Structure 1
Amino acid sequence: MASRPRIAKSQYSSPYSASDMVAMAGVAPRLAARCMRSTHACAATSSGSISDRDNRLGKRITVWGAAFKPETDDIRDSPALAVAQALHNLGATVTVTDPKALDNARKLHPELDYVEDPIAAVDDADLVLHLTEWPQFSHIDPKRLATRTNSPKVIDARGTLNTDQWRDAGWMTRALGRR
């Protein structure tokens, strides 16, 4: 895209076109609902029961990533924040962490919780969503995190976590596009 004269001369730094960003943001509510259903399915499998709709309320979900891509604080049209907001709207308590974009995210979505440290962000989480492919997230030791959560479950929407390592550390994992 940078070879296109109109784009090369502009300040636009996204590798995605505007229509791509709109399409990704449109998928966010469905992804959020799938995440919530996965959380409930995992809980039903491990605890033996999920009885009523009220169980959807009060889930604690940690979102790793707020920026639309790593190495930026740009949150414009961020699919990660769209998913976080959709989960909040479904009744979850959502904690977001990001190395650079927390201040911008906090201004746009003050109803979400924010934690600077990605390790502290998973405290008491029912689910961790890896939504922006910051290299820092891929280097976190999953063994160190497992005891900090209510339930060690992670969905890797970016495909950069070593799911075998996470499973060996006791995590239930889902990686979008992988088994």
Structure 2
Amino acid sequence: MLTPVQARSLGLNRRRQLAPARRAVYNAQLQSLTASLPGRVAAYLALPDEAAPWCFAKTAYLPVIQPDQTLKFRRYRHGDPLERGALGISVPSSGPLLDVADMDWVLVPLTAIDGVGVRTGLGGGFYDRTLLNTPQSRRVGVAYPGQRVDRIAAQPWDVPLGRLVTPAGWTRF
């Protein structure tokens, strides 16, 4: 069983080892798989080495960090103005903030995930705090091959995901 720190390190190393061309192919596959999700989809702007699940030619709802360290979501369409938000993350510059309960699907970035849906992120806990009262079936992890590990020692605050999407397809937990 891996500690969260070990799992995070392993997952980060594996995704960083991907060649840019391979990452681009995987991202296109991820975007194809998530394109059919109905309703309001909370997505995210991927970091350079992070799995990018959403084709932003479509409408998505991007996370905006709140003072209580949870996330709210603001509608975004390709070309809408962005501004620098908390932690230097780009966020839509205007529009109403929606609660996670208003989202039909929440695409969640991760560094590693195990076979029961326990994930590690970058360590801020924003998604765990936000997803606490969200049905597990609507929480979707997004990963490249190699980010899945055998078992992560869950912490009391960890909120498991209900699904995982990788370039190979969907998994339900």
Q: Which has the higher strand share?
A: 2
TM-score range relative to shorter protein? 0.3 to 0.5
- Using structure 1 for the length normalisation, give the TM-score: 0.39
Q: Which has the larger radius of gyration?
A: 1
- Using structure 2 for the length normalisation, give the TM-score: 0.40
